[in-house]
Amino acid sequence: MLPDPAAFEPGPAQEAEAVVPSDTPDSPDRHLLDAVIDKTSELLAAGDTEHGLEALLAVAGSYAGQPLAVDPVGVALVRASLAAVLQRDAFQDELWDTMTVRITATLFDDPHSLKRLTQLWRRLQETAAR
């Protein structure tokens, strides 16, 4: 006989373990995103396009003048960023599409990440327009 699932739920006297969201100010995810955006902004300011920025600048050129939105700009930025560090051919198209859309939505759902992405998008557009 299988155990009753209710036996594993906390009772009124027990507290469930607190879940710490990944978008807290001290989370590793936030620090990683900040580091990536800072480095990209630094390379843009220095006019360095030899470090994988070509793909991001191509996105900025393709969507020149468009506001940052999940689709199409955000998804295109995430895809360009991931393609620079991952082997795109290692992923089936459906998995790649699902993964990049979910990552983009996650970034847009976090106010801190969205602010940083907006700044990056502005810098990319300025650089692409030169």
Question: In this predicted structure, what is the pLDDT of residue 47?
Answer: 66
The answer to whether position 1 is within a domain reads no
The answer to whether position 40 is within a domain reads yes
Query: Can you give the residue range of the structural domain that contains 119?
Result: 23-129
C-alpha angle 31-84-79 in degrees, rounded to nearest 5: 80
The answer to whether position 3 is within a domain reads no
Question: In this predicted structure, what is the pLDDT of residue 88?
Answer: 85
The answer to whether position 79 is within a domain reads yes
What is the SS3 assignment for 1?
coil
Question: In this predicted structure, what is the pLDDT of residue 12?
Answer: 44
Put simply, whether the predicted model's pTM sits higher than 0.75 gets the answer no
Question: In this predicted structure, what is the pLDDT of residue 130?
Answer: 84
Question: Do residues 73 and 66 make contact, with C-beta atoms less than 8 angstroms apart?
Answer: yes
The answer to whether position 10 is within a domain reads no
pLDDT by position in tens, the chain (length 130):
333 434 434 444 434 333 334 445 555 555 655 666 666 667 667 765 555 688 899 999 999 999 999 999 999 998 988 887 778 888 899 999 999 999 899 889 989 889 989 988 998 999 888 8
CB count within 10 Å of CB 71 equals 11
The answer to whether position 12 is within a domain reads no
Count of the separate structural domains present in the chain: 1
The answer to whether position 90 is within a domain reads yes
DSSP structure class, residue 130: -
The answer to whether position 77 is within a domain reads yes
Question: Do residues 68 and 74 make contact, with C-beta atoms less than 8 angstroms apart?
Answer: yes
Distances (CA, A) of 54 to 11, 17, 35, 83: 55, 45, 19, 12
Please give the span between the terminal C-alpha atoms of the chain, in angstroms, as a whole number. Answer: 71
Question: In this predicted structure, what is the pLDDT of residue 18?
Answer: 38
Helix spans in the chain (H): 28-45, 53-62, 75-85, 93-109, 111-129
